[in-house]
Amino acid sequence: VKSSAAVSKEDVGSVAAANTASSFTLGSTASASAGAYVGMAINIGGFTRNISHHGAAASSSAADGRVVTVGTAFATAPSAGDAYFVTKFEALVPTTKRVCKMSGGEDGRSYVGT
């Protein structure tokens, strides 16, 4: 998701180590409290992803640390030194709606719902 809106930033820093496109270590300014950023979003290079884990290891929020895992991987792994910011708002992902149309019944009217 490409982001451009102004948002309240909870943390600003740079990536300390890049593990994969979905898991990386934040710099020393980041919170080390396990789970502190879970449910928030991280923006790197103008692209935003939702944080699913935050702790000492990838895909875990069990112990204190600065490793974050995102639900959807970035197109390429962030590099050490890349700037990031964390926000309280999750990235919105477009979804499709399912439409159901019913017709008939005693009054002969049609109904459309989502």
pLDDT at 13 over 90: yes
What is the model's pLDDT at position 84? 95
Q: Pick from 78, 94, 98: which is nearest to 25 by CA?
A: 78
Alpha carbon distances (Å) from 29 to 11, 20, 94: 8, 21, 32
Separation of alpha carbons 4 and 50, rounded Å: 16
Residues β-bridged to residue 47:
2, 44
pLDDT of 105: 56
d(CA 12, CA 16): 12
Reported confidence tier of residue 6, pLDDT bands at 50, 70, 90: very low
Residue 10: pLDDT band with limits 50, 70, 90 = confident
Q: For residue 64, is pLDDT > 70?
A: yes
Percent of the chain scoring above 70 in pLDDT? 70
Sequence ranges of the domains in the chain: 9-113
